[in-house]
Amino acid sequence: MIVEIVTDITGEPVTLSEVKDYLRITGTAHDTDLETMISDARQYVERVTDSSVSERSLKVTNDLEMEEWELPFGPVIGTVTDSYDTDGNYIYEYSAGYDTTPYDMIRLILDVIKYWYDIDDTSQELPVTIKKKIQLLTRNP
């Protein structure tokens, strides 16, 4: 399966200020690292939950026919148009995501950032509390 982002989200669902408040950081020494973590954590949460935190347009090419609920980075919110390429692959174009990022996804992004910020060894496994939140938010067929 090949997933192309045609139109990406317009902004991150959490701001640097929100992250700094959540982590109780007052200075600016870590701002650049935190901004990178915001984007990385959002992408991580989207990948593991198979959800888009905000609206975007996608194009998916797959050798198998798919149902709407199988399309990645849901929820699907726009019309799904389908066609075929010269190799006989199915091509799906659609809009997906949320108008407003759900609070539980924002909280998960903040929790992931806090975990990454607090640990010394990035190879450590995620805590059970974060894993449970991921499980609850993961789109299942």
58-67, 103-112, 132-141: the lowest-pLDDT one: 132-141
User: SS3 for 128?
Assistant: helix
Cα(63)–Cα(105) distance, integer angstroms: 31
Tokens of 53: 């935190």
Over residues 122-136, the mean pLDDT reads 86
**Which residues partner with 17 through β-bridges?**
none
Residue 141 has pLDDT above 60, yes or no: no
pTM for this model (two decimals): 0.88
Terminal alpha carbon distance of the chain: 17
Question: What is the chain's mean pLDDT, rounded?
Answer: 91
CA 81 to centroid of chain Cα atoms: 23
Phi, psi values for residue 82, rounded to 5°: -125, 150
Q: Are 89 and 63 in contact (CB under 8 A)?
A: yes
pLDDT band at 74 (very low <50, low <70, confident <90, very high): confident
User: Amino acid identity, residue 36?
Assistant: T
Predicted confidence (pLDDT) per residue in 7-29, tens digit: 999 999 999 999 999 999 999 99
Domain ranges of the chain: 2-137
Instruction: Give the angle 88-91-97 at the CA atoms, nearest 5°.
Output: 160
Helix and strand element counts for the chain (H, E): 4, 4
User: What is the pLDDT at residue 15?
Assistant: 96
Please, what is the Cα angle at 117 between 113 and 119, to 5 degrees?
Answer: 120
Structure tokens at 39: 């984007």
pLDDT at 132 over 90: yes
pLDDT in tens, 86-124: 899 999 999 999 999 999 999 999 999 999 998 866 667
What pLDDT digit, counting tens, does each position of 83-92 carry?
998 899 999 9
Check whether 38 has a pLDDT greater than 70.
yes
